[in-house]
A = this chain, B = another copy of it.
């Protein structure tokens, strides 16, 4: 059955099954924000054949990833999610089952964090596009901002980078998998299809900050790549950084898939890993990395000198400057 055969009202009835009944059916949703907390808002649009394609992403995974993109932005502000809205532009020739699977993917990801779909919009479009706005709340004293990194802070990553790009490559070129174990293959594809927002990091950070309440934590998520995250934080904070090449955690699966020089390209510029990149005092950072375990790592430090350098203690002559220009940019091709 196609979308155009059941019409807007028919489609709305299906979609509303994925929303708490008390929240939809009016002109807008009503929600209370915890007292003394600030509201945090983020929005992202995903477009067919730009952000996803039938070749590499099932409708379930489009939904899952759409949820993660937005929840990851909340996590990057230190905020816990309250709900999301979903605006869907869709062609009449899309199967109704595609829409149902999209919402199943969305809600399966959201349910892990007790986050409801609080409303939305559905309309006809010549290309399928999904626009999600996510709302969260944060104690304003604990908000993570890009602009508060200070010289002397160390840089922490919360997990592996590059695996999502590796998973995409396996989906596009299945012949590459021969060297990988089944588990390695699965872990890379999972990183691409079902990334998790790092909301689990927030309670650990809060506990650590309870002992040093006036510490500002800088950070953002690495949705556009690790290099982009570091550069954006440095720009916003008007500082520089030194990143130790050999400290960047790279999964065994990715190391198996790629020759060594290429194995750093994807972690830095691949994007869509949805890890957090945080800048904080070294003592707190060490405690955080211990608590997070696997793959979390201190990869460098913030400097007052504005250059953002990738250095390699083993090869001191190969200093590289990190830049935004190698990451993914819309419109340039």
Contact = CB atoms under 8 A, between A and B. Distances in A.
A77 interface: yes
A125 B140 CA distance: 35
Contact of A126 (B6, B49, B221): B49
B129 A89 contact: yes
How many monomers of this chain does the complex have? 2
Contacts of A147: 25-26
A16 to B, nearest CB: 13
A33 B44 CA distance: 22
Interface string A294-333: 0000000000000000000000000000001000011111
A146 interface: yes
Contacts of A177: none
B41 A118 contact: yes
Given A28-B40, A47-B124, A133-B85, A8 B331 contact: yes
Given A28-B77, A39-B135, A77-B30, A331 B120 contact: no
Given A27-B77, A44-B121, 17 more contacts: A6-B331, A26-B77, A27-B42, A27-B73, A27-B74, A28-B41, A28-B79, A30-B38, A32-B140, A33-B39, A41-B85, A43-B85, A45-B88, A45-B129, A87-B131, A122-B330, A125-B129
